[in-house]
Amino acid sequence: MNLTTLARVKALAEQAGPANDAWFNLAIAGKSLAIEREIDRFVEKKSYTEKFDPDGTTRRFWLQGPPVTAITEVRNGGTVYAATGYRLGPEADMVEFLVAPVKDFDGLLEIDYAGGLAVDADELVGGDYADLAFACELEVLSLWQRRKQLAEQVSESVGGSTFSVTKSMPLLPETKAMLERFRLGA
């Protein structure tokens, strides 16, 4: 899911017309994914299936799409786990098994649930998560300012050989600081 809209980014970049729309759309999509990886959580509000390899003693399984609004099914190898045997944790971010740790499963534990922060960028911008949209906009505008250097090569020497690599463009320190409150486990 894109964390902001083309219209918002173009307004901030003071760009009118469709001439750079493809570039902006690509930058929005790329930076949205980078931010989602940085905070280690799913942003889009939808249905997810996560798989876990239970060790026989773990009772709690943290999910990447909080806040979780519903657990639709928990199963192992096609066998559905009884809904009375687990519950959604108090922070709506994990499934906790009530009776005993998961120990009889032969394969992967699969948890189907509905969760996430927003269905689209408009809901994100208009809700409690506007900082995520702003972080994406900050990153895209930074790329826009540095777009001429994006393909710049840097020479590296290793073991007597020299080769060229493209410089990476990590998230800005300001963006990382802004995202800290959204990081799972923070």
The pLDDT tens digits for 145-165 are: 887 776 666 667 777 777 666
Q: Which residue type is seen at 123? A: E
Which residues are CB-neighbours of 19 under 8 A, at least 6 positions away?
none
Q: Is 17 left (phi over 0), alpha (psi -120 to 50) or beta?
A: left
pTM for the predicted model, two decimal places: 0.82
Least confident of 1-5, 47-51, 76-80, 169-173: 76-80
* Residue 70 reports pLDDT greater than 90: yes
Res. 40 pLDDT band, cuts 50 70 90: very high
Determine the Cα–Cα distance for residues 14 and 12; give it in Å rounded to an integer: 5
pLDDT of res. 166: 62
Least confident of 9-13, 36-40, 100-104, 133-137: 100-104
| Summary mean pLDDT of the chain | 88
DSSP string, 120-170: SHHHHHHTTTHHHHHHHHHHHHHHHHTGGGTT-EEEEEETTEEEEEEPP-P
SS3 category, 32: helix
Determine the Cα–Cα distance for residues 100 and 164; give it in Å rounded to an integer: 56
pLDDT of res. 167: 64
Helical ranges in the chain per DSSP H: 6-13, 21-39, 121-126, 130-145, 173-179
Determine the Cα–Cα distance for residues 122 and 2; give it in Å rounded to an integer: 10
